[in-house]
Structure 1
Amino acid sequence: MHAVWQNIWTGLTTATPLDQLNLALGLVGVVLMVRQSLWAFPVGLAAVSVQGVLFYRSHFPADAALQVFYFVTLAWGWWHWVKGRGAAAELPVTRLGARGWVVTLGAAGAATVGWALMIGPAMQAIMPWRDAFIAAFSVAAQVLQVRKNIENWPLWVVVNVVAVASYWSAELAYTAFLYAIYLGLALVGWRAWRRSLREARA
């Protein structure tokens, strides 16, 4: 047990300032998203910019490319949430149908296999399958989130579990810690959005 805590302490004390900044921005951004605040979007845009540089330098090419997608979808989500409000106080939470689930999981699964077998090795990814899985299913979760489909949260739970193990083994201690917090916040967000969905149907 002492060796485990020693490894954790070493990882935290040797982390780069970029890794630390990624933790701070990412944490604030997810808390704001759980609260369904529009401020989640400008904070998120800054967070994914920092994370893109961090992942590129750490040889996670799929995750680095993913941040470009995040940037675009966050900008679109910002517009969508404002436009979708109409006369309401906020854009309502909705559910994904069965067909939507099939399309989402099928597309994310195919993207994982395609990237891991063809693109990841060519870009010297250190963990091509985990890198591809995190990227592909994060894309799916992000699209569902900006559409305000509640199903984004269970996808984030799975992605974050894989991400914590991957980033810790790649010696990105603060980023691994950030994704552990994301995991907890995804569960909180899932519960909060379920409450909003129930209230909207009452």
Structure 2
Amino acid sequence: MTELLSGIVNGWQLQTSLELMATLMALSYTVLAIRHSLWCWPAAFVSTVLTLQIMLQSQLFTDALLQLYYAGMAIYGWLNWQRLTKQSHGVPQIVNEWGWMPHLKLIAATGTIGLVMGYLMDTYTETDFAYLGSQISCFAVVSTWLVAKKVLSNWLYWVVIDAASIYMYLQKDLYFFSALFVIYTVIAAVGYLAWRSSYQLQQSNKSGICVSG
């Protein structure tokens, strides 16, 4: 009995330590991304490796698959942000934005894929929250790609994703992650405002150049 209790306590401590480390690295990634720092991507990669182990232990398989994608996107984001900075002559704050129609098409396509993925996960696996987890995963995939592309509206996607994630993680007793995503929801809103300011300044500078020309 003592060995069983000791195993439970040790397992809980390991889980909590992993959650804490992953949380700190994920927060570092988000804050650095808001500041247009290239170093957000190494932080994202470390957070991904830690989170992958936690998701597998919690049988959140759609989230586990998502972490593998994040690892690849961390590498892609690092390379793409370097390229964008070179193209803007060393200015890292370059921000892009899309019109409404591309976003609507992206949302419709992603939502449809999420429903199909949810059905497959619900039917053929024992994963919890198959449909919600699939939608979160699909939109997180898209939103991470938008971050790597430095598209302003990625932060609005994250506000919705983070709010939905709070509920799911609370149901799985992942309290560090629940707290993280409460903070994320606020940070995503701050990120949008910060990047919007950069985008508006960027557009203003372009207008000034055109007028001067």
Q: TM-score, normalized by length of structure 2?
A: 0.85
Measured against aligned partners, the alpha-carbon deviations of 1:10-37 in whole angstroms (never above 9, x if no partner) come to xx99962111212111111111111111
- Per the alignment, residue 58 of structure 1 pairs with 58
- Per the alignment, residue 44 of structure 1 pairs with 44
Q: Which of 108, 123, 126 is the aligned partner of 2:125?
A: 123
Cα pair distance change 1:13/1:49, threshold 3 Å:
closer
Larger RCO (alpha carbons 8 Å, 6+ apart):
1
Cα pair distance change 1:64/1:120, threshold 3 Å:
farther
Deviation (angstroms), 1:98: 3.0
Deviation (angstroms), 1:97: 2.4
Larger radius of gyration: 2
Measured against aligned partners, the alpha-carbon deviations of 1:28-84 in whole angstroms (never above 9, x if no partner) come to 111111111111011110001111111111111111100111111121111001011
Distance in 1 of aligned mates of 2:193 and 2:117: 32
Q: Which moved more, 1:96-105 or 1:63-72?
A: 96-105
1:74 aligns with 2:74: yes
- Per the alignment, residue 173 of structure 2 pairs with 171
Q: TM-score, normalized by length of structure 1?
A: 0.89
Q: Which of 175, 191, 194 is the aligned partner of 2:193?
A: 191
Tell whether the 8 Å contact from 2:19 to 2:54 is kept in structure 1 after alignment.
yes
Deviation (angstroms), 1:125: 1.2
Q: Which of 125, 132, 135 is the aligned partner of 1:133?
A: 135
Flag structure 2 segments of 5+ consecutive residues without an equivalent.
Answer: 1-11, 205-213
Measured against aligned partners, the alpha-carbon deviations of 1:126-166 in whole angstroms (never above 9, x if no partner) come to 11111111101101111111000011001000000000011
Tell whether the 8 Å contact from 2:166 to 2:182 is kept in structure 1 after alignment.
yes
Distance in 2 of aligned mates of 1:138 and 1:110: 14
Deviation (angstroms), 1:120: 3.8
Q: Which of 145, 148, 154 is the aligned partner of 2:147?
A: 145
Cα pair distance change 1:134/1:100, threshold 3 Å:
same
Flag structure 1 segments of 5+ consecutive residues without an equivalent.
Answer: 1-11
Distance in 2 of aligned mates of 1:114 and 1:56: 22
Tell whether the 8 Å contact from 2:37 to 2:92 is kept in structure 1 after alignment.
no
Q: Which amino acid aligns with 1:93?
A: V
Alpha-carbon RMSD across the aligned residues, in angstroms, is 1.7
